[in-house]
């Protein structure tokens, strides 16, 4: 079920706070991308920020395989990918261990009966907040306005998160976002930061 060298246990047991050095063999800050698609953004940011580590969580087996091939081809020592549901990974992470989250164009699950499968629920936002280090950010982008409103509402309602301006580069970080902008689709993005002093 899980890709990436047994980094996560196949049982419901929260990881210890010092597990990232075992994954990356260094103490650099770690950002997580949930739903990296084919890994364009992961590759770009891993190359741009060599002193950061980037951990991608992808539910699609074929996409995770493609991302791993991209990592291998570019020899990205600071990037990893796991094939898993994001909720499972988030539940295992210890408190205050992630230095940033990137969530770009998550599946909107258009049909009403599938809305429960959407990623950006209050429960998931609570886990993002719990695992994020104080002063660090969750960056979210979508081209589905209705989904953005729901996600933004969940992020804004979470105690200990504050809305701050979004880096404009986030809107052109992938071919998907550039294609959407070229077609005139509205892109909506938000950045929420965990307040200093939050546990």
Which residues are designated catalytic? 107
Place of tokens 């719990």: 130
Question: Dmax over Cα atoms in the chain, in whole Å?
Answer: 46
Q: Alpha helix locations (H) across 8-144?
A: 20-24, 40-48, 61-74, 86-92, 122-131
Of 148, 137, 67, 56, nearest to 105 by C-alpha is 148
Place of tokens 């800050």: 29
Which tokens go with 96?
A: 């205050």
Q: Half-sphere exposure of 63 toward its Cβ, with a 13 Å CA cutoff?
A: 16
Angle at 128 between CA 123 and CA 129, to 5 degrees: 95
Residue 16: φ, ψ to 5°: -75, 160
136 contacts 98 by C-beta, under 8 angstroms: yes
Q: How far from 86 is each of 76, 83, 89, 168, 179, CA to CA, in Å?
A: 22, 9, 5, 26, 26
């Amino acid at each position: 079920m899980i890709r990436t060298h047994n980094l996560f246990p196949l049982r419901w047991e929260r990881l210890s706070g010092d597990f990232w050095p075992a994954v990356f063999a260094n103490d650099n800050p770690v950002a997580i991308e949930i739903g990296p698609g084919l890994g364009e953004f992961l590759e770009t940011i891993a190359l741009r920020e060599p002193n950061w580590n980037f951990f991608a969580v992808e539910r699609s087996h074929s996409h995770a395989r493609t991302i791993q091939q991209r990592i291998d081809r570019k020899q990205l020592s600071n990037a990893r990918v796991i094939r898993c549901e994001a909720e499972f990974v988030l539940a295992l992470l210890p408190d205050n261990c992630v230095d940033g989250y990137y969530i770009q164009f998550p599946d909107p699950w258009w049909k009403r009966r599938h809305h429960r499968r959407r990623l950006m629920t209050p429960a998931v936002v609570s886990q993002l907040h719990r695992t994020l280090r104080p002063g660090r950010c969750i960056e979210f982008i979508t081209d589905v306005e209705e989904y953005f409103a729901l996600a933004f509402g969940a992020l804004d309602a979470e105690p200990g998160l504050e809305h701050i301006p979004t880096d404009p580069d986030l809107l052109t970080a992938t071919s998907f976002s550039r294609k959407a902008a070229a077609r005139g689709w509205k892109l909506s993005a938000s950045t929420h930061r965990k307040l200093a002093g939050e546990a």
